[in-house]
């Protein structure tokens, strides 16, 4: 939990200072935003990569780098200010326009979404043509990322760019098992990393994001990534992907609460389903999305996975939550979940059951079968069970084979979409599970 | 003989008939009030039911766990039905009290005055109980979810404890509101609550000191050990 104690007069002073700074800078072509919180170790590298990328690929453009900080206590703003890059050592001539740097704390609900809101506001004030946002904990970012995220906007007239990385087969499990297959089935776009963390977008789209009143919701926290991607698709923005190689970042805060993170992301997806109901119901299949960048194989470090712990969490959840899910999930789903107890390492959480669980949750959230917070948080053990089952099943498989398995899962999500629509409509009229 | 007949039978009978004829309009008034009350209660029952349906009250009860708690108690009726039926009986009761007042009998009048002055306390106590029950369910479920996600094996025990504590607290407040053995209720609640906390402290400190030691050591070791699950979920 991060808290920045700031008085109203401090805030006004800060705002005035920022306004002055922005007026001095004037209109810009490019803005690169870096949301941060205690990233002193890595932000220097990220800033150097961004600076080099802007100098190398957009030397003529007037650019600004904005760090929106959540009240870091480890000297992140100082690390950002100190970060410099010797352009000559990487064969880049001096920039025509020097890079402007702004580091300012954001206010509002602590979270990435609030940091992004400030970046959008600055983008609007500076009337930028293209924006990119990159995480401050990245270790694998290179100058090329900046080109790949911004060139589709500036030269190819795209509106929104999502990243496309090579990640370890067990990295990004919420993305692989929920967000990617679900958004693909709902909105028909095969965006492999819809919540990747690095995005490029047109200045107009940033202005459009600001018109939405979502900054007091989970969007202000971990829900921002999926919200931006879905909002862009729903606005019929021209979307593409940028191949960025490997994604290696600092380990996340071990104290971060998985169930809160899961609830925020999945809750945002479900809220967006309510908002875009008319759109997703009409989409029947998915289509590939263009990928820019030269694709190559990357070596990925193995990641340890605590299967025993996940299985224990799954079993405890099944034992304690089954009565809670009565009347929330369909009876046949509950029966299948019940049959998995006692949980052993031979447990198999099949794709078909998993999809029915996710769709069942979406419908339960739609008909408000339980307080959203309780509903989404009670889902954590099921998620851990699915991840453990998937890891056990794919331990011996290569990265490519695991991608094929995820592709199969996506097809099940798409295949069962008519069931989702039917149950959704039924719950809208009857208010129950059929 | 004629005088005796007149004194022993005719006069008391006349007196009785006079009293009955004086009482009959009051009885009739009571019956009219009661009939009107039943009619008003019936109309109100339908209105309350429709209003609750419009407000999606059943779904709200489902979300807060109230419906599930009712089902556990053997009441499978929809909460909107239940509340509208309660409204019906409350209105009928009020009209019954008013009707009794119309009888114009001194003991009944005293009872009616007492009942009317007590009614607000009863209503407040009832509201406290309902809110306490809803809050108990809500916090009980929140505790269960948080404890299971933290992988505490005694999650259900904890959740029940929280639910019970909230409901007990509401019950004590409701009794206090109704003025039933106020001092005894407050003392009993304080003793019971304090007793539970004291018992837990002793159980943890003495009876389960090894378990406590293992738990704390386990936590320290867990914090020191490299994290097993190192991948990013997002």
A251 and A333 housed in the same domain: no
Domain termination residue (choose one: A292, A315, A350): A292
The predicted pLDDT at position A79 comes to 86
Query: Do A121 and A231 belong to one domain?
Result: yes
A321 and A424 both lie in a single domain: yes
Q: In a mutagenesis test of the A interface, which of B57, B151, B155, B230 is the best target, namely the one with the most A β-carbons within 10 Å?
A: B230
**A370–B233: do the CB atoms touch at under 8 Å?**
no
Substitution target from B143, B224, B226, B233 for chain A, most A beta carbons within 10 A: B233
Is A379 among the domain residues?
yes
pLDDT digits (tens, 9 = 90+) for A43-79: 999 999 999 999 889 988 999 999 988 888 888 888 8
- Which chain A residues are closer than 8 Å to B62 by Cβ? 327, 368-370
Q: In what order do the strands lie in the sheet with A239-246?
A: A100-105, A63-69, A30-36, A130-133, A199-202, A160-166, A239-246, A291-292
A350 and A250 within one domain:
no
pLDDT digits (tens, 9 = 90+) for B19-59: 888 888 888 988 999 999 999 999 999 999 999 988 888 87
Residues A284 and A261 occupy one common structural domain:
yes
* Entry pTM: 0.79
- Overall average pLDDT of the A5-11 stretch: 48
Per-residue pLDDT at A204 exceeds 90: yes
Q: Which two structure tokens, joined as six digits, stand for A66?
A: 């904005």
Q: Which of A230, A261, A292 is the last residue of a domain?
A: A292
Q: Does any domain span residue A155?
A: yes
Q: Does A3 map to a domain? A: no
Q: Do A327 and B62 touch (CB under 8 A)?
A: yes
Contact B231 A170 (CB under 8 A): yes
Provide the residue range defining the domain that includes A346.
307-430
| Same domain membership, residue A283 and residue A159 | yes
pLDDT digits (tens, 9 = 90+) for B176-204: 888 887 777 777 777 877 887 787 777 76
A301 found inside a domain = no
Asked if A370's CB is within 8 angstroms of B149's CB, the reply is no
Of A172, A310, A317, the CB nearest to B232: A172
A44 and A160, same domain (yes or no): yes
Rounded to 10 degrees, what is the CA torsion of B105, B107, B113, B115? -120
Every domain of chain B with CATH number 1.10.287 lies at 120-208
pLDDT-derived band at A287 (thresholds 50, 70, 90) equals very high
Altogether, the residues listed in chain A come to a count of 434
| Best to test chain B binding among A320, A326, A328, A366 (most B CBs inside 10 Å) | A320
At A95 the pLDDT is 62
The residues with which A66 forms a beta bridge, in sequence order, are A33, A102
The enclosing domain of A136 has a CATH number of: 3.90.550.10
User: Does the beta-carbon distance from B233 to A310 stay under 8 Å?
Assistant: no
Same structural domain, A262 and A338: no
Of B103 and A414, more confident: A414
Number of domains, chain A = 2
- State how far the Cα of B154 lies from the Cα of B142, in Å rounded to an integer: 14
CATH class of domain segment(s) B120-208: mainly alpha
Q: What is the DSSP string of B93-135?
A: HHHHHHHHHHT--HHHHHHHHHHHHHHHHHHHHHHHHHHHHHH
Residues A282 and A358 in one domain: no
Cα–Cα distance between A430 and A23 in angstroms, integer?
Answer: 56
Q: Does B217 have pLDDT greater than 80?
A: no
Q: Which residue has better confidence, A231 or A304? A: A231
- Among A236, A269, A292, give the residue marking a domain's end: A292
Contacts of B151 in chain A (CB under 8 A): 309, 312-313, 316
Cβ pairs A/B, distance under 8 A: 97
Is the predicted ipTM greater than 0.85, yes or no? Answer: no
Query: In whole numbers, what is the pLDDT of chain A averaged over residues?
Result: 87
Assess whether A355 and A243 both reside in one domain. Answer: no
Residue-level pLDDT at A5: 41
pLDDT for the residue numbered A13: 54
More confident residue, B230 or B141: B141
Of B145, B229, B230, the CB nearest to A374: B145
Tell me if A363 is assigned to some domain.
Answer: yes
Residue of A nearest to B65 (CA): A370
Residue A254 pLDDT greater than 70, yes or no: no
């Amino acid at each position: 939990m991060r808290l920045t104690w700031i008085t109203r007069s401090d805030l006004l002073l800060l705002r005035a200072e920022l306004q002055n700074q922005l007026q001095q800078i004037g209109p810009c072509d490019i803005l690169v935003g870096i949301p941060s919180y205690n990233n002193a170790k890595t932000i220097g590298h990220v800033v150097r990569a961004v600076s080099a990328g802007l100098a190398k690929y957009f030397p003529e453009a007037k650019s600004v780098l904005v760090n929106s900080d959540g009240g870091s206590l480890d000297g992140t703003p100082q690390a950002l200010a100190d970060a410099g890059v010797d352009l000559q050592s990487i064969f880049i001539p001096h920039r025509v326009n020097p890079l402007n740097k702004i580091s300012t704390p954001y206010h509002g609900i602590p979270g990435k979404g609030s940091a992004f809101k400030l970046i959008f506001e600055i983008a609007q004030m500076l009337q930028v043509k293209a924006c990119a946002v990159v995480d401050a904990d990245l270790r694998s970012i290179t100058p090329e990322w900046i080109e790949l995220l911004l060139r589709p906007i500036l030269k190819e007239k795209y509106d929104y760019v999502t990243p496309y990385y090579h990640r370890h087969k067990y990295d990004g499990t919420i993305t692989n098992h929920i967000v990617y297959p679900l958004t693909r089935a709902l909105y028909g776009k095969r965006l492999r990393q819809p919540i990747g963390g690095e995005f490029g977008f047109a200045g107009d789209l940033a202005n459009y994001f600001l018109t939405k009143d979502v900054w007091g919701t989970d969007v202000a926290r971990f829900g921002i990534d999926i919200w931006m991607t879905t909002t862009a698709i729903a606005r019929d923005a021209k979307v593409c992907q940028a191949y960025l190689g490997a994604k290696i970042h600092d380990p996340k805060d071990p104290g971060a609460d998985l169930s809160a993170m899961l609830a925020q992301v999945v809750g945002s997806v479900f809220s967006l389903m309510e908002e875009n109901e008319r759109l997703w119901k009409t989409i029947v299949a998915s289509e590939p999305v263009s990928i820019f960048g030269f694709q190559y194989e990357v070596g990925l470090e193995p990641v340890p996975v605590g299967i025993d712990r996940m299985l224990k969490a799954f079993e405890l959840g099944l034992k304690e939550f089954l009565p809670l899910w009565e009347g929330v999930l369909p009876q046949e789903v509950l029966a299948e979940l019940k049959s998995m107890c006692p949980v052993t390492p031979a447990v198999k959480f099949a794709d078909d059951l998993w999809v029915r669980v996710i769709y069942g949750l979406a419908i339960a959230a739609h008909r408000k079968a339980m307080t959203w917070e309780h509903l989404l948080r009670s889902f954590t053990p099921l998620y851990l069970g699915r991840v453990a089952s998937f890891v056990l099943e794919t331990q011996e498989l290569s990265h490519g084979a695991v991608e094929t398995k995820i592709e199969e899962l996506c097809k099940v999500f798409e295949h069962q979409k008519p069931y989702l629509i039917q149950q959704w409509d039924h719950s809208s009229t009857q208010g129950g599970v059929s | 003989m004629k005088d005796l007949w007149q004194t022993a039978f005719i006069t008391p009978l006349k007196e009785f008939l006079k009293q009955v004829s004086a009482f009959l309009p009051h009885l009739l008034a009571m019956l009219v009030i009661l009939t009107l009350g039943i009619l008003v209660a019936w109309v109100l029952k339908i209105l309350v039911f429709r209003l609750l349906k419009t407000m999606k009250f059943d779904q709200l009860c489902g979300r807060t766990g109230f419906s599930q708690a009712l089902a556990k108690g053997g009441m499978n009726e929809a909460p909107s039905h239940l509340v509208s039926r309660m409204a019906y009986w409350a209105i009928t009761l009020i009209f019954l009290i008013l009707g009794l007042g119309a009888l114009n009998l001194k003991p009944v009048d005293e009872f009616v005055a007492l009942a009317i002055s007590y009614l607000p306390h009863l209503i407040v106590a009832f509201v406290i109980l309902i809110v306490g029950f809803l809050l108990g369910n809500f916090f009980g479920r929140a505790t269960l979810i948080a404890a299971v996600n933290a992988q505490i094996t005694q999650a259900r025990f904890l959740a029940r404890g929280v639910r019970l504590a909230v409901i007990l607290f509401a019950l004590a407040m409701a009794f206090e509101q109704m003025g039933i053995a106020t001092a005894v209720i407050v003392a009993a609640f304080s003793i019971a609550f304090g007793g539970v906390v004291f018992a837990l402290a002793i159980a943890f400190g003495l009876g389960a000191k090894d378990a406590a030691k293992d738990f704390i050591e386990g936590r320290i070791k867990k914090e020191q050990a490299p994290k097993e699950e190192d991948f990013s979920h997002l």
